[in-house]
């Protein structure tokens, strides 16, 4: 039992990181059998890890059609952008009100290292981590992870992503919370406007892989 739990935890961490880094794309099937071979594991801990990710909304269970990376509808993606924005604005409010030390790394800004997708994840995680409210941190982390494959797939649609991210980072480092909140709202408004194009692109990419 202990060995299975340890293996399941390893598979969970590795698949979650793969989703975040773009190794799996929206709509792509995730085969438990392939992962069992890859991790030199029996199917049981692999399935346990994958269904943990299903519970977090990072993988969809299509019953007889298997497990897939979510392929969003326009409504689903728009709702997720709304949710991410609301969570970040709440986190900003708490950062400005809480008189508690921020956790290690919460001052991190996007900087120039890594691609814009990874730096976006890092910035939003830093904003969450600067609050003392663990449920809010977890909610932002999950929404961040759910959006990561979408961010990678649609990056060609976003103009001036580096400049946009640098602006958010400057406001965060300066703790200019009103300016940061306004910029975060603008950031998500631009993405909501692109939702039809993003979903069409994701569907087209998925169909090309079939």
Coarse DSSP helix, strand, coil percentages of the chain, rounded to the nearest 5 percent: 70, 5, 25
Q: How much is the pTM?
A: 0.87
Q: In the prediction, which pLDDT does 107 show? A: 55
Beta bridge pairs of residue 30: 67
- Residues 53, 16 contacting (CB under 8 angstroms): yes
Q: In the prediction, which pLDDT does 139 show? A: 96
Query: Per-residue pLDDT tens for 190-204?
Result: 999 999 999 999 999
How large a percentage of the chain has pLDDT more than 70? Answer: 90
What domains sit in the chain, N to C, each tagged with a CATH number?
2-68 (1.10.10.10), 74-204 (1.20.120)
């Amino acid at each position: 039992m202990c060995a299975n739990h340890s293996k399941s935890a390893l598979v969970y961490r590795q698949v979650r990181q793969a989703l975040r880094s773009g190794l799996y794309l929206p709509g792509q099937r995730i085969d438990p059998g392939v992962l069992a071979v890859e991790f030199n594991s029996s199917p049981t801990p692999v399935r346990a890890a994958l269904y943990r990710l299903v519970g977090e909304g990072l993988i969809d269970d299509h019953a007889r059609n298997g497990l897939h990376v979510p392929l969003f509808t326009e409504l689903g993606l728009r709702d997720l952008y709304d949710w991410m924005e609301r969570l970040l604005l709440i986190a900003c409010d708490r950062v400005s009100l809480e008189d508690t030390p921020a956790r290690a790394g919460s001052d991190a800004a996007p900087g120039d290292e890594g691609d814009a997708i990874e730096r976006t994840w890092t910035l939003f995680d830093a904003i969450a981590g600067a609050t003392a409210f663990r449920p809010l941190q977890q909610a932002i982390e999950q929404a961040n992870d759910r959006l990561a494959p979408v961010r990678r797939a649609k990056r060609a649609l976003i103009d001036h992503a580096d400049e946009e991210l640098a602006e958010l980072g400057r406001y965060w480092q300066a703790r200019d919370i009103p300016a940061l909140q306004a910029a975060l709202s603008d950031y998500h408004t631009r993405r909501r406007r692109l939702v039809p194009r993003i979903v069409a692109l994701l569907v087209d990419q998925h169909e090309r892989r079939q």
